[in-house]
Amino acid sequence: MSGAAETRPAFEVLRNAAGLALWAAHFGVIYAINSLACERGLAGTRLLGLPWAPALIGLATLAALLPLGLLLWSAVSRLGHPLTEGGEAEPRFTRWFAAATTGYAILAVLFQAAPALLVPPCGPGH
């Protein structure tokens, strides 16, 4: 088999975990931005005319959604292709699982970004 057509099993496992890892990284970035803004008293500062924390959270969300979208496109576009390993066809479960977890991660990123963009970093009372 050629190197381009061959897919390593370890890469398939990484493809399954990549969406969840990006989701976790996005959560950590949002938490860090809100913590920094609240602890350092930066909640009211502005960046290019926008509130500092929501602007950075919006950029972090876009930075997370771009690779997640590429992962989802890659996983969905490969669903019909057979994957062979050692002469036996591997079940397509890994590809479906990669598409499902990446789709779930996209929804999770959007759901965790929405309140972080709308609620002030130190809470509604600050």
| pLDDT tens figures, 24-50 | 999 999 999 988 888 887 777 777 777
Residue 59 lies in a domain: yes
Domain annotation covers residue 30: yes
Higher-confidence residue of 115 and 64: namely 64
Count structural domains, the chain: 1
Q: What is the 3-state secondary structure (H, E, C) of the chain?
A: CCCCCCCCHHHHHHHHHHHHHHHHHHHHHHHHHHHHHHHCCCCCCEECCEEHHHHHHHHHHHHHHHHHHHHHHHHHHCCCCCCEECCEECCCHHHHHHHHHHHHHHHHHHHHHHHHHHCCCCCCCC
Instruction: Classify residue 61: in a domain, yes or no.
Output: yes
> Is residue 67 pLDDT above 60, yes or no?
yes
**Which residues lie across from 51 on neighbouring strands?**
46
Condensed to tens digits (0 to 9), the pLDDT of residues 83-120 reads 665 555 566 777 888 899 999 999 999 999 998 888 87
Is residue 42, in this structure, part of any structural domain at all?
yes
Q: What per-residue confidence (pLDDT) applies to 1?
A: 46
Domain span holding position 44: 18-74
In this structure, the chain runs to a length of: 126
Please state, in angstroms and rounded to a whole number, the distance separating the CA atoms of residues 62 and 47.
17
Q: What do you get for the CA distance between the two ends of the chain, in Å?
A: 62
pLDDT of residue 37: 87
Domain-embedded: residue 98: no
